[in-house]
Structures are given as structure tokens and as C-alpha cells.
Amino acid sequence: MNNRLILRNITRTFRDGTANRTVLDQLNLEVAAGELVAVMGPSGSGKSTFLSIAGALLEPSSGQVEIDGESILGKSPDTLSKLRLHKIGFIFQNANLIPYLKVEEQLRLVASLAGIHKADAAYRARQLIEQMGLSHRSSAYPDKLSGGERQRVAVARALMNDPAVLYADEPTASLDSARGQDVVSLIAQQVKAEGTSAVMVTHDERILSLCDRVLLLKDGRLKEHP
């Protein structure tokens, strides 16, 4: 099985006053292509630190991170920036759409930054918009969309460059139960269809049945959720 995301023995220690505080302690995780893994944990358990390291935004104190078979540690900031653009997709709690861009333009901007040919970008954008059930909204601005529609645009945008790894940080926090289920169902479908390795940090127990595995971040390590 192709594991597109691997974290090996990840430790992250922060200086807290005069003492060191270990947030992640020999954490391990492998996520296969086409797998959606949910990570739960109380506030302060290290979920943000975990996502930052897995997303190439923060270096661990020790350990190894591999994305699509390539170690990302020790890379230059420019190399990491390109890796995030081409290999990683992020979905946040709030859609964070650009207010003056229409739905299709939101997606095509990402492709433009990545240097994707305009014709290929247009085809990919229209394909994702259709899969998200937003064809009738492709020319709408964010302020004309519902919360669920905005979050579906955010999912499409994160998938625009066919990332190897997808991270979702509390993607249902601002949605009601039905819309939250819809968004995570779309994420799960796209992950399967495109062979993406996906990790979703969430407190929302309503959507756990849509995930392949559920893990608990506790005492700096990931464990099977009881």
C-alpha cells in the first residue's frame, strides 16, 4: 500500500520559561493513498503543532516527515514553499476565500501560482466545481454563497493541484450537522477518487463514521480512538 504521508518518531519540544515542554513525543503516523484519517484530542494536546509539522510549516525537534516518498526535513524555505503549493492541500475552519474573486477564479488562481497551463487549469477547475455540486455557482462571489457552499469551494481549492496530502483543520466547525456531513462526505469521496492521503483534525464526532480511521492525540502520541 502506498503511504503518501509518513511521520516517524516526531518529537517537538518548546522552551517554556526556564524549562522545556514536550508537545509531541515520538509520534508516528502513516496514511495510505486514498485514506482519510481523523485526529481528535483536547485543547492543548498538540494538534496545531502536529498539523504544522505534517504540513511543512514547522520543523520537529527530531524525527522524519515524508510526503509522497520524499523527506521534507532540512529543505530550504523556497523548496518547502514549492512543496506546499504542489504537494499539499489545506482546508481550514473558515473557508478564507478571496472576497473579490468568483468561485472559478478562486481555483484558477491556485493553478496560476503553480504554473499550470491555463487550459488545463480551466478544465480542472470546472471538473472540481461540478463534483462539488457548485456548477450553478461558478460565477458567484463568496458573499453570495452559503457557509456550506463556501466550505465546498475551499475543498475544491485545496484539491486543485492534485496534492499528495490533504490536511483539514476543523472543517465543520462553522457548519450545522447536515452541511458538515456533506462537506466531509465530499472530502472522503475526493480522497478515494484521487488517491490522496488525508488527515482531518476535528472535535466533531458526527462525521467520524465517514473516516477510515480515528486517532486520539494524547500525551504527545497518536493512539487508536476508543
Q: One-letter amino acid identity for 220?
A: G
pLDDT band at 201 (very low <50, low <70, confident <90, very high): very high
> What pLDDT does residue 2 have?
76
Q: Is the pLDDT of residue 1 over 60?
A: no
pLDDT for residue 24 = 95
Q: Is pLDDT above 90 for 79?
A: yes
Query: Rg of the chain's alpha carbons, rounded to an integer?
Result: 17
Q: Please determine, for residue 222, whether its predicted confidence score (pLDDT) is greater than 80.
A: yes
pLDDT for position 193: 93
* pLDDT tens track for 169-186: 999 988 888 888 999 999
What pLDDT shows up at residue 6? 96
Question: What is the reported pLDDT for 175?
Answer: 87
How would residue 126 be classed by pLDDT, with cut points 50, 70 and 90? very high
Span 211-215, average pLDDT: 96
pLDDT tens, position by position, 28-39: 999 999 999 999
The pLDDT value recorded for residue 225 is 81
pLDDT at 88: 95
The pTM of the full predicted model, rounded to 2 decimals, is: 0.93
Which domains does the chain possess? 3-224 (3.40.50.300)
Determine the Cα–Cα distance for residues 151 and 93; give it in Å rounded to an integer: 9
Tens-digit pLDDT profile for residues 84-106? 999 999 998 888 999 999 999 99
pLDDT of residue 197: 96
Backbone angles phi and psi of 190, in degrees to 5: -70, -40
What is the per-residue pLDDT for 19? 79
Q: What is the pLDDT of residue 82?
A: 92
Mean of all residue pLDDT scores within the chain: 92
